[in-house]
Amino acid sequence: MALQREIAIKRTIRPKELRQIVPLADSTIFEMEQRGQFPRRFAITPRCVVWDLAEVETWLTARRATPVQRTPAPDLTKRRSHALKETDQAR
């Protein structure tokens, strides 16, 4: 009997399922893919793109392990236009 190799079938997910797993907008996912910060999609037909579920899960695990630096709040006192109005204490 010949040795049979086990073929691991990777599960792929379509955009609708990806949005359930990763709650980001399509445009955000696309931009992150272009920068190399998110797993790349691939086309299985001219009109159907999918992601490898294992790659997405690995990305999620890595994101959970490394906290994301939050952007500091802007300093509103340095505005050049539309300056903050002072509140009228007399009212």
Q: What would the two tokens of residue 35 be? A: 């920068």
Question: Is 2 contained in some domain?
Answer: no
Answer whether 33's CB lies under 8 Å from 41's CB.
Answer: yes
- How far apart CA 53 and CA 61 sit, in angstroms, is 12
| Confidence grade of residue 7 (pLDDT, cut at 50, 70, 90) | low
Question: Is 62 contained in some domain?
Answer: yes
**Do strands 12-13 and 42-45 pair parallel, antiparallel, or not at all (unpaired)?**
unpaired
Answer whether 36's CB lies under 8 Å from 68's CB.
Answer: no
Does the pLDDT at position 18 exceed 80?
Answer: yes
Question: Is 72 contained in some domain?
Answer: no
- Work out how many domains the chain is built from and give that number: 1
> In the predicted model, what is the mean pLDDT of residues 5-15?
76
Q: Which residue has the higher pLDDT, 89 or 73?
A: 73
What beta strand segments (E) does the chain contain? 12-13, 42-45, 48-52
Range of the domain at 40: 12-66
| Confidence grade of residue 6 (pLDDT, cut at 50, 70, 90) | low
Q: What is the mean pLDDT of the chain?
A: 84
- How far apart CA 84 and CA 88 sit, in angstroms, is 12
